[in-house]
Amino acid sequence: MVILTVSVSVFVTCDCRKKSPSGLARDHSAHLLSPASSAPRSPAYPTKVLEFKKDLKHRVFPVTQEEMQFQPESLCRQLFSDHEGLEQFMKTQIYPCSQGVVIFSRSWASDIGLRKEENVLCDALLIAVNSPLVLYTIIKDPSWMGGLQYAKDTALQLKQKLQTEGGYTGKVCIIPRLTPLTSWPDGPCEFPMYYPQSYRLSSEEVEDILQALVVVSFCSTSLLSDCLGCEYFDLLVTEQCELLSQSLHETSELFIHCFPGTRKTALAMKIMGKIKDFFHCKPKEILYVCESDSLKGLVSQQTPFRAVTRNVFMQGDFSRIKHIVMDETENFCSKYGNWYLKARSITHPKEKGDGSENPQHRILWLFLDPFQVHHAEVNGLPPPSARFPRRTITNGIHCAWEIAMVMKEEMERIRENPLSHVSPDSVALFQEAVYEEAMCAQAPPGVYEIKTQMTTEQIAKYVAEKCHSLFQWGYLPKDIAVLYRRPEERGRYEPVLLREMNLIHTQEATEVVFSRAAGVQDNRIVLDSVQQFSGLQRNIVFGLSSEGAQPEEFQKLCFASRAISHLYLLYEKRKAF
């Protein structure tokens, strides 16, 4: 037998050069938000994407003349590994195209708001120079009667979204190609495609369509949107860094108040690069100080600068250091020594003789999140009234809209009823209106689900099944973190999670191995306490907690601040005594 390929003779076209893009409202029916939420409905896509769409296109879809690219890489690797011959078959189908990209999805229909069909193995969208747009649909059952209609409907919906949401104003044609999965051909297969020559894309039109597709992808949740989201948030942090670095020539000491979701650690790492360039100093002359070993390890791996924990900082000699950036200072502790005075003595040394400060310009910048204080001990920071000069970052939202909404609601609750270990003056800096404006401008759609009254076994089964599904869509273990409240809970959750993971493990599934927060760079699911994961983030976070845990709003805020695009809060019912 050979593979059967149907080339649909009816193709979807439109000349929309006189039309302008219009936004479509997001559908939140799949996401569970608080019924009491009074936040404004989010836009179709974050408006900031329009500013970055060209950069995002070049980062994710770098079209070259050398070869065609298959994206996203993780999904392609899985599909080509599970289905021998698929990669070669696709190469024969797109021949002789040599400049462009083929974008795979488990279901392009699902990615653009239509229903996912179980009979569809995958879809692949060809965007190439000298070719019209082609949507290949590979189905599992050749007798399925709905395949042709599925392919046509998906092509039509995608074409319309490129116009209305992506803002593409040229002529566009998407040809559906239906391919039953039976067996792979031995050689190239030629199939006629009937379309006007004017629908063949030039290199400029490929560029414009890919930019439009970037915008369309940010209108819904998918593997592609999450891949784009990683680059998008990096661009946002870079932009924020450019604004903040303007203060380098103005002040040597600066207190930087960052609220949950602003990715202060990523910002701190980029600021160190700016310090090196601004002062023309060596990387070893810049010191990063934080509270947790896992965060210290991340910074050591991703930057050339020296990174230590507060404990090591208090015990060591850092006289050769010129500039210091301190992170997580809200959770520092001065019980074993005044870390702030030591840091200041390094960056603001006294002149011998008169005791005045050396006029040499050195940097001491301190990053803190006033909402995420984990202890009630004296942290060593000056009181809020003495933290000047100060910058407050409230307009940097680097997570999905649904997750930002969770954090906004919890920050409002904490601001109105501050916890005993939280400074009322510090949390009062939170400005709801500014945060909401940033959400609409910057936050893409995401997933937020909350489940209550679960047993430990039900929680483990839910996590295992969800992870299995995510792996099938192309996500990797390195995208996921499973976090619990207290360090001692690992012994309770790990065995049951591994048992459930093994129950659903198949030959095609990605093998599951857990790591600690310190292994956040590894391609493994992180299983650790929410505190050990402080300052770190992953695309997908499962937050495990007991119902009635106090204070619940603080725990929810901690879980949400570690997630980028997917947040699943699972509450375990209390056992009766």
* Cβ-based neighbour number of residue 489 at 10 Å: 17
Tell me the C-alpha distance between 560 and 539, whole Å: 11
Residue 319 identity (one-letter amino acid): S
Specify whether 211 is located in the same domain as 330: no
Residues in the chain: 577
User: Quick check: 572 and 545 in contact, CB under 8 A?
Assistant: yes
Can you give the pLDDT at residue 182?
Answer: 74
Specify whether 199 is located in the same domain as 283: no
Counting as low any pLDDT under 50, the low residues of the chain are: 1-40, 186-191, 507-508, 577
Specify whether 176 is located in the same domain as 283: no
User: Quick check: 447 and 405 in contact, CB under 8 A?
Assistant: no
Specify whether 202 is located in the same domain as 69: yes
Can you give the pLDDT at residue 503?
Answer: 84
Tell me the C-alpha distance between 326 and 381, whole Å: 11
Residue for token digits 């903040």? 244
CATH code, domain carrying 534: 3.40.50.300
pLDDT tens for each residue of 175-229 = 999 998 875 554 334 445 566 788 899 999 999 999 999 999 999 999 999 999 9
Residue 403 lies in a domain: yes
Specify whether 396 is located in the same domain as 455: no
Residue 431 lies in a domain: no
Can you give the pLDDT at residue 293?
Answer: 95
Question: How many CA atoms are closer than 13 Å to the CA of 496, on its beta-carbon side?
Answer: 14
| Buried-state track 99-137, b at ≥16 Cβ within 10 A, e below 16 | bbbbbbbbbbbbbbebeebebbbbbbbbbbbebbbbbbb
Residue 464 lies in domain: 446-572
Specify whether 263 is located in the same domain as 179: no
Q: Which of 355, 384, 409 is the last residue of a domain?
A: 409
Can you give the pLDDT at residue 510?
Answer: 55
Can you give the pLDDT at residue 348?
Answer: 92
Residue 14 lies in a domain: yes
Can you give the pLDDT at residue 14?
Answer: 44
Spell out the residues 6+ positions from residue 563 whose beta carbon is closer than 8 angstroms to its own. Answer: 399, 400, 403, 537, 538, 539, 540, 541
Can you give the pLDDT at residue 195?
Answer: 64
Q: Which of 219, 238, 272 is the last residue of a domain?
A: 219
- Under DSSP, is residue 195 helix (H, G, I), strand (E, B) or coil? coil
Can you give the pLDDT at residue 511?
Answer: 64
Residue 25 lies in a domain: no
Residue 354 identity (one-letter amino acid): D
Residue 243 lies in a domain: no
Tell me the C-alpha distance between 90 and 492, whole Å: 47
User: Quick check: 262 and 237 in contact, CB under 8 A?
Assistant: no
DSSP for 137-163, please give it: EEES-TT-TTHHHHHHHHHHHHHHHHH
Specify whether 397 is located in the same domain as 535: no
Spell out the residues 6+ positions from residue 483 whose beta carbon is closer than 8 angstroms to its own. Answer: 526, 527, 528, 529, 530, 533, 541, 542, 543, 544, 559, 562
DSSP for 313-358, please give it: HHHS--TT--EEEE--GGG---TTS-HHHHHHHHHSPBPTTT-PBP
Tell me the C-alpha distance between 213 and 492, whole Å: 45
pLDDT tens for each residue of 227-268 = 999 999 999 999 999 999 999 999 999 999 999 989 999 999
Specify whether 202 is located in the same domain as 286: no
134 phi and psi, to 5 degrees? -130, 130
Q: Which of 219, 242, 269 is the last residue of a domain?
A: 219
User: Quick check: 228 and 217 in contact, CB under 8 A?
Assistant: yes
Specify whether 41 is located in the same domain as 187: yes
Residue 419 lies in a domain: no
Can you give the pLDDT at residue 326?
Answer: 98
Specify whether 559 is located in the same domain as 483: yes
Segments in 329-444 forming alpha helices (H): 339-347, 401-416, 424-427, 432-442
Residue 418 lies in a domain: no
Residue 241 lies in a domain: no
Can you give the pLDDT at residue 184?
Answer: 57
Tell me the C-alpha distance between 395 and 77, whole Å: 37
User: Quick check: 106 and 474 in contact, CB under 8 A?
Assistant: yes
* Cβ-based neighbour number of residue 498 at 10 Å: 16
User: Quick check: 120 and 139 in contact, CB under 8 A?
Assistant: yes
Can you give the pLDDT at residue 505?
Answer: 64
Specify whether 389 is located in the same domain as 493: no
Can you give the pLDDT at residue 419?
Answer: 78
Specify whether 194 is located in the same domain as 261: no
Can you give the pLDDT at residue 9?
Answer: 34
CA nearest neighbour of 523 among 505, 538, 534: 538
- Under DSSP, is residue 116 helix (H, G, I), strand (E, B) or coil? coil
Q: What is the pTM of this model?
A: 0.90
Count of domains observed in the chain: 3
pLDDT tens for each residue of 18-35 = 333 333 233 333 333 333
